[in-house]
Structure 1
Amino acid sequence: MGSKGFSRRDFLKFGAVGAAGAAAAGLAGCAPAATDTAKGDAAATSGGAVETSEAVIKLTDSMPTWSFMVPPEPIADDQITETIENDIIVVGGGMSGFTTAVSAAEQGAKVTLFSASSAPISRGGSNFARNSKVMEELGVKPFDPVPFFYHEMRAASFAVDQRKWMRGYNNSEEAMNWMIDIARNAGLEVIMERDNTFDMGPNYAHAFSTLGDSSMVSTGQQGAVEALEAKAKELGVEVIYDTKAEQLLREGDKTGRVTGVVASKIADGSYVKFVAKQAVVLATGDYSTDKEMLACYCPEALKYVGFEQKETDYNTSFNMGGIYGGDGQKMGLWIGAAWQHAQAAPMYQGGWGGSHEPCGFHMGLNVNTRTERYQREDISAPYSAHHLLSQPGNIAYGIWTPNYPQAIIDKGHEWYLFGMDYTLPAKTADEMIAMWDEGVEKGSYFKADTLDDLAKQLDLDATKLKEVVARYNEMCDKGVDEDFHKNPDFLVKIDEAGPFYAATNTCTFMTIMGGLRTSANMEVCDENDEPIPGLFNVGCMIGDMYANEYNFAIPGNSYGINCLTFGYLLGRDLAAGKFE
């Protein structure tokens, strides 16, 4: 039987539950439904239902495919109004695209970069490197990679490409020092932001700032990308905006070299052909706004981003709930690229209320909406957020009293908030209490004189809350978490005298990582793991870098490794003719 297409309209009728089930049943092809053959083999009961024991989905070459996998008709040559030729064509005007272009141009390569955006684009601003000249200037010591990377590979079920991880880590210092020089020459300050200390990984990341202080921690990437754009133009890189990639060009009916890209001009829809003598580099970002792709590769995220398919805004700098529509991933699939081996890695973030860690939720007592303690609380905000997906309403609360911050400090833990850099002192207990009281006035925290009142504010069962607090305090007195076995440092009694504080923890979907199967040298590969000649990708679309979840255990790993280090290395490799 022939393959059947599955349209976005069909998907919306099919629903998230059906899509998720179909994706699970046919992971190899992300098939949304069984073949006609499989349907015919399944006997129906008198009521029209199919018996479970008889319902067999046969995984064959004739499985239906999702509509985003079906290549569009090639854009005819007579529709092309302009042709631009160069050695290297980079598609995408963000951090990874500009890094690749500048790195290659510095070594003498001729580069054209075009982007659907109207200017350089970025979001966030944390950048990891194992070490750097800025770290040495500030006395920030590198972390120990030996125990951490074992822990990190386990967190990804050892499903990720360790070659890429180690190549990125080992070359990150060189790449970061290169970027620091570019940033400083452009008038930017490079500062070190503080991050979590309890995941064995680095508690630091590099940030770029036009102000030179913490006000731009995790938000200053735009300055870095604009500095790279200026450097690119200085080196003679041809930079073209408002031009959207539509189709890759490959010789030999999906067997030969990728020779270019056909793109459309956003202003008038006319087509321009970019011819690459040497390489096409995709740097087009994630696929989180294509709901059909999410249904195929990450169905659990669907209900957190909604079902309405929105038009992609290529000038969006930051947006919770999805950013781009998978343009590069789809173009790659259409010419024979394979999808990554690992399962999708969504990027979730949780609340940060009441935590002494910059990227963590409160590590004392947490309860769900059924007034139950449901987890060990000494985990990062992304892990805590992911766990909320299995909790009623996907909401939980952290609860504590004013003795909590000093108890944490007395146990040797410094108190830092998200957005603090290495030049700022740790917060004191009094400062935290004052901040929470201010948050109560703004509605971002809860405060009550009694547990009954707190339960009412949180819509919890007051009797159960008192029982949970009593049990928690009992374990605090023992110094042992007998229920969930968390670090006893974070067993701090709830003071029965009050007042009682609370913060809400929720799960926010930010984006999704990965895409096309990618070698350690950033070559896009086919189903046999063979590189497709002339085609590369960088940035968050690199396949098999993350699995299960992007957990922030290395703060700024995507920018520092996927975008900066791999873009830097690929640009040099292309200029040196490594792949010819």
Structure 2
Amino acid sequence: MDRRSFLKGAFATGAVATAAATGMGALASCTPTAKEDGGSQSTSSANANGGYSFETAPEPIAEGDIKETVEADIVIIGAGFSGLCCALAAAEEGSNVVMIERMDHVVGRGGSIYAMNSKLTKEKGYECSVEEVAQRYKRMMGYHSYRVDGTKWMMHFNRSGEAMDWLIDRMTTASTVGGNDLTPVMEHWYEDPENINGEFPGTHEFLNGPNGKGPDDNPQQDVCDNMAAYCTKEGVDIRYKTEAKQLIKEGEKVTGVVAKTSDGYVRFNGKKAVVLAAGDFGQDKEMLEKFIPWAAHQTEFGGIWDGTGHKMAYWAGAAIDKNETPTPMIFCFQWRSITRQVRAFQGLMVNSDGRRYTNEDNVISHGALALTQEKNHYAYAIWDNDYAEEPQWQNHLYVDGPKVFETPDDVRAYWQTTVDGPGTINMNGSGDIEVKMIKADTIEKLVEELGLPKEEALETIKRYNGFCEKGVDEEFGKRKDLLLPVKNGPFYGIKCTPWFLTTTGGVRCNDKMQVMNSDNEVIEGLYCLGSMVGDMYCNCYSTHFPGHNLGGTCLTFGYLTGRHLAGSE
């Protein structure tokens, strides 16, 4: 079997055939097109053998084309949050670390980082026992059909507080390394009195940096900029504009990676390990089609990266998650234009036929997934002027912080900015989302401008208002507190679409983050972190623990892996 065909059909069993005993594994053979933020999007085409192009490994880069060789204890591919945490933790313990990054700067997105029992959560009165966590996790295991790695989840519980304290100590004193001192805060969370779809406390943010003044900003960029400054101080050799191309194997051990720079190819040898922290595969349509076809077909397309790390891992012999299903993050961001929070809209939702289709009391991830079941995969939120008076969703931004809105008029002013806006918002560099809010003086005019079938939609609204008057939702059983009628104008509506934000998982690994093959054997020398870590989620990425991925696979696992590779764990 030659190198060009050895991958054919392998993914059907959840693994890629192991590469030759010597030589190099390889990166994608699809052609990426650059995105403005440095990501890429791959075109989709099956190869001559009937498979996808990423299932075929390119030829090894010739030794004669390699212009330089760099030696290190640890080589980390990707300078996002997980890679930075690993690099700094290892360097602080004395390891010689090289980190390569395709872009010309580090990248941070979002800002919600979930951790339990940090000094901040304890200070705010939210320390939790193992019994409490077991109750939470039992519920979450059910949401993920128990097709996840419970050992990794408990490792996050047991060590995330320690990792967060480590991060807080550095973020609050980052000016000592040329960064910006940041303020740690705890995000507020949605409390469900029925204890079904509520969120749990523990989500941290770091504010007051140049990119993160508040909830509408990108505070994670400040965190990553500070981490890069700390890494530089600790002697981490960060190579920007350096794109990983092929892993190097000696026998069954991964020993390094060949990367491309403006001056040619460079070989980076990792005496102890090569760590893949290269992000998601949401920009590779072939990989989505292969692994998560329903998400590719039923959601607005987002994604951040092109699966660079996944492909290198597969060609080195890695298997996909044991559940064989990498997991998408799917949210509906039009709802944020109503509540200014990453939350589901709990008013009236109707589908394109003008009919109500769900109990609207949900978290944003599950509420967005419900949209995928509707015709053309979208629906409409409808509410009236009085919704601005509703206290149920006017939570605080942060624990002990200001409210999301101080007055109902602030709410209405926020809606008006969307009504008057351009009709789209940019999702942090991963694409534009349509956000076209309609405002009308009558409910008939609103229904008409939304393009809904008039008779059916008006009958649905009338029936829903009747439930609100009775205080009993005879259709879907939504709790009484959320039965708010649509009666008093002006009236508002917005088309709601499920947005594919990113992928999580895709590479099988143990609780040491060592990459494994289809026989669950460790591939010596190869580790993975961040959005690549397999078997953390299944079905969908749930938002019951807001920021669980950043807090788990990035911060906690990055911190622990760095210390482990440095010999401190």
- TM-score normalised according to structure 2 size: 0.82
- The reply to whether residue 179 of structure 1 matches residue 171 of structure 2 is no
CA deviation vs aligned residue, 1:390-410 (integer Å, no higher than 9, x gap): 21232212222233343x42x
Aligned counterpart for 2:403 among listed residues 425, 432, 436: 425
Deviation of 1:305 after TM superposition, in Å, equals 8.0
Q: Residues 30-69 of structure 1: matches in 2 within 5 Å?
A: 65-69=51-55
Deviation of 1:457 after TM superposition, in Å, equals 1.2
Deviation of 1:132 after TM superposition, in Å, equals 2.2
2-structure distance, mates of 1:574, 1:2: 35
Q: What SS does structure 2 have at the residue aligned with 1:194?
A: coil
- Aligned residues of 1:23 and 1:296 also touching (Cα < 8 A): no
Q: Residues 24-423 of structure 1: matches in 2 within 5 Å?
A: 26=12, 28=14, 65-139=51-125, 144-186=132-174, 187-198=181-192, 199-203=197-201, 205-211=203-209, 214-215=213-214, 219-252=218-251, 256-265=252-261, 267-268=262-263, 270-303=264-297, 321-342=302-323, 343-350=325-332, 351-352=334-335, 358-406=341-389, 408-409=390-391, 413=392, 415-416=394-395, 422-423=400-401
Over the aligned positions, Cα root-mean-square deviation in angstroms equals 3.0
2-structure distance, mates of 1:276, 1:194: 42
Counterpart of 1:571 in structure 2 is 562
Deviation of 1:192 after TM superposition, in Å, equals 2.5
- Which amino acid counterpart does residue 464 of structure 2 have in structure 1? Y
Deviation of 1:65 after TM superposition, in Å, equals 4.5
CA 3–116 in structure 1, closer or farther in 2 if over 3 Å, else same: closer
Deviation of 1:572 after TM superposition, in Å, equals 0.9
- Aligned residues of 1:210 and 1:223 also touching (Cα < 8 A): no
Q: What SS does structure 2 have at the residue aligned with 1:403?
A: helix
2-structure distance, mates of 1:577, 1:214: 36
Q: What SS does structure 1 have at the residue aligned with 2:247?
A: strand
- Aligned residues of 1:4 and 1:64 also touching (Cα < 8 A): no
The gaps in structure 1 that reach 5 residues or longer are 9-21, 31-62, 307-319
- Aligned residues of 2:107 and 2:221 also touching (Cα < 8 A): yes
CA 23–486 in structure 1, closer or farther in 2 if over 3 Å, else same: farther
CA 304–553 in structure 1, closer or farther in 2 if over 3 Å, else same: same
CA deviation vs aligned residue, 1:94-134 (integer Å, no higher than 9, x gap): 11111101101111222111111212122111111113223
Deviation of 1:438 after TM superposition, in Å, equals 4.8
- Aligned residues of 2:15 and 2:317 also touching (Cα < 8 A): no
Higher mean Cα deviation, 562-571 or 141-150? 141-150
Counterpart of 1:545 in structure 2 is 536
Q: Residues 437-448 of structure 1: matches in 2 within 5 Å?
A: 437-442=416-421, 444-448=436-440
Counterpart of 1:459 in structure 2 is 451
CA 28–426 in structure 1, closer or farther in 2 if over 3 Å, else same: closer
- Aligned residues of 1:207 and 1:218 also touching (Cα < 8 A): no
1-structure distance, mates of 2:134, 2:326: 26
Counterpart of 2:21 in structure 1 is none
CA deviation vs aligned residue, 1:465-518 (integer Å, no higher than 9, x gap): 2211222122223322221122222112222x5332223311111111111101
The gaps in structure 2 that reach 5 residues or longer are 17-48, 175-180, 424-435
Q: What SS does structure 1 have at the residue aligned with 2:114?
A: coil
1-structure distance, mates of 2:478, 2:123: 36
- The reply to whether residue 450 of structure 1 matches residue 436 of structure 2 is no
2-structure distance, mates of 1:263, 1:481: 60
- The reply to whether residue 535 of structure 1 matches residue 514 of structure 2 is no
- Which amino acid counterpart does residue 478 of structure 2 have in structure 1? K
Counting aligned pairs with the same residue, the percent is 37
CA deviation vs aligned residue, 1:11-59 (integer Å, no higher than 9, x gap): xxxxxxxxxxx999x56479xxxxxxxxxxxxxxxxxxxxxxxxxxxxx
1-structure distance, mates of 2:294, 2:122: 42
- Aligned residues of 2:15 and 2:314 also touching (Cα < 8 A): no
Deviation of 1:136 after TM superposition, in Å, equals 3.9
CA deviation vs aligned residue, 1:332-370 (integer Å, no higher than 9, x gap): 111211111221211112021576582223212111111
- Aligned residues of 1:29 and 1:65 also touching (Cα < 8 A): no
